[in-house]
């Protein structure tokens, strides 16, 4: 009897964990692919056009593009937790950050022979600009109490025009090899660079959460702002900062995105990426209404989203039709997390429990 109980408790612990949700989703997708076509998991080592060894395969694609999402998911999780809403301007933000990088690298000429500034300088300027735009969103949300979706709708609408304006609506192309490393491969390393960048971001946020009170403060403010204020916190400041941090994530993503093309397409770059980033947060089991969060679950959620996208591509789903499939996932997730369904599930659990107790007894 005792054994049964501990087993039941153990199971409950596993199912109760928030990170169980993205893991379960990942397993379902993996099993589906395994049955449909095991070739999905094949990884081959080849050489790219520059003659460097590179790994390729669907899993590598997931690792590559999922990393962009994972970086955004870090910031989006914090924004969601603190403000109880989402930033829908990250795609436009990436366009701006990418445009800034190219502008700094190219200087006056849009097709320079050589870089006009070191990449690190261009990146730092982009960080600054993206954080400023994050601060703009944050100020609207925290100090003017505008709902996050509405506040970020401004940049969502205007961002891509601003990005085009930064480069006088020209299409700069960077011929320097080094820029392509960030979104591609570093010579000699067969794993896509975005994965390393994402891991660096994960490491940084892990250190920040470990050595500061960012996690506790953000959750406290997201759960009960009034109580947090009476405990000496400044809820507005914390909401504001979460948007600035997301701005930083946007800049990193912008670097990866322009590096992939060594150029930019203002209207297409990072299009609809905000939806995937928000979906990653939701798939991580985080409440989109704010409060408690698990950043690792969000990061895993990001890779799961990419897993889903790649699976759909593999099955020749038109890219136009992709959002419809993702929408199904979103609907299921959101409906499952509503209080009505949760209450129902809790009641269902209670109904089942007495039976289980009897069995144990």
Q: 144 vs 211, which CB is nearer to other proteins?
A: 211
Nearest approach in angstroms of CB 16 to other proteins is: 12
Q: 214 vs 278, which CB is nearer to other proteins?
A: 214
Residue 288 within binding range of other proteins, rule CB under 8 A: no
Residue 291 within binding range of other proteins, rule CB under 8 A: yes
Nearest approach in angstroms of CB 337 to other proteins is: 14
Are 253 and 276 a contacting pair, CB within 8 Å? no
Nearest approach in angstroms of CB 241 to other proteins is: 10
- Report how many residues bind other proteins under the rule CB under 8 A: 22
Write the Ramachandran bin of 285: left for phi over 0, alpha for psi from -120 to 50, otherwise beta. Answer: left
- Which x/- pattern, by CB under 8 A, does the window 116-145 give for other proteins? ------------------------------
- Which x/- pattern, by CB under 8 A, does the window 202-241 give for other proteins? --------xxxxx-xx-xx--xx-xxxxxxxxx-------
Nearest approach in angstroms of CB 14 to other proteins is: 16
Nearest approach in angstroms of CB 210 to other proteins is: 8
Alpha helices in the chain (DSSP H): 2-16, 20-36, 58-83, 90-106, 119-142, 148-166, 177-181, 193-211, 214-223, 225-230, 235-261, 273-283, 295-314, 322-336, 339-360
Q: 52 vs 224, which CB is nearer to other proteins?
A: 224
Nearest approach in angstroms of CB 165 to other proteins is: 37
Q: List 54's β-bridge partners, or say none.
A: 46
Q: Which of 66, 72, 71 is nearest to 90 (CA)?
A: 72
Q: 129 vs 233, which CB is nearer to other proteins?
A: 233
Residues 6+ away with beta carbon under 8 Å from 57: 41, 42, 43, 44
CA dihedral sign, ordered 327, 156, 141, 220? positive
Residue 314 within binding range of other proteins, rule CB under 8 A: no
Are 193 and 71 a contacting pair, CB within 8 Å? no
Q: 214 vs 261, which CB is nearer to other proteins?
A: 214
Write the Ramachandran bin of 170: left for phi over 0, alpha for psi from -120 to 50, otherwise beta. Answer: beta
Q: Which of 11, 57, 86 is nearest to 243 (CA)?
A: 86
Q: Catalog residues that contact other proteins under the rule CB under 8 A.
A: 210-214, 216-217, 219-220, 223-224, 226-234, 291-292
């Amino acid at each position: 009897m005792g054994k049964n109980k501990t087993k039941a408790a153990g199971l409950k612990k596993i199912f109760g964990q928030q990170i169980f949700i993205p893991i379960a989703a990942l397993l379902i997708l993996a099993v589906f692919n395994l049955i449909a076509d095991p070739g999905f998991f094949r990884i081959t080592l080849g050489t790219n056009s520059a003659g460097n060894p590179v790994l390729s395969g669907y899993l590598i694609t997931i690792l590559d593009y999922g990393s962009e999402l994972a970086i955004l998911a870090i910031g989006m999780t914090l924004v969601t937790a603190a403000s109880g809403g989402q930033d829908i301007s990250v795609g436009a933000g990436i366009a701006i950050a990418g445009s800034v990088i190219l502008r700094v690298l190219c200087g006056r000429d849009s097709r320079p022979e050589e870089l006009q500034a070191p990449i690190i300088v261009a990146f730092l300027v982009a960080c600054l600009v993206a954080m400023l735009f994050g601060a703009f969103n944050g100020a609207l949300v925290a100090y003017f109490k505008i709902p996050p979706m509405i506040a970020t709708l401004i940049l969502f609408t205007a961002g891509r025009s601003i990005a085009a304006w930064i480069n006088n609506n020209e299409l700069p192309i960077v011929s320097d090899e080094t820029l392509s490393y960030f979104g591609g491969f570093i010579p000699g390393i067969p794993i896509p660079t975005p994965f390393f960048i994402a891991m660096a971001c994960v490491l940084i946020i892990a250190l920040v959460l470990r050595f500061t009170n960012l996690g506790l403060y953000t959750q406290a403010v997201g759960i009960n702002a009034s109580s947090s204020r009476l405990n000496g916190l400044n809820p507005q400041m914390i909401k504001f900062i979460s948007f600035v941090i997301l701005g930083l994530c946007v800049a990193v993503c912008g670097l990866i995105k322009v590096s992939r093309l060594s150029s930019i397409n203002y209207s297409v770059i990072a299009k609809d990426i905000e939806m995937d980033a928000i979906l990653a947060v939701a798939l991580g089991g985080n409440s989109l209404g704010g409060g408690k969060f698990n950043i690792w679950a969000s990061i895993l959620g990001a890779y799961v989203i990419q897993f889903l996208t790649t699976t759909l591509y593999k099955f020749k789903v038109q890219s136009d039709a992709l959002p419809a499939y993702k929408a199904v996932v979103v609907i299921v997730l959101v409906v499952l997390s509503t209080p009505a369904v949760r209450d129902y599930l809790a009641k269902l659990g209670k109904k089942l429990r007495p039976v289980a107790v009897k069995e144990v007894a």
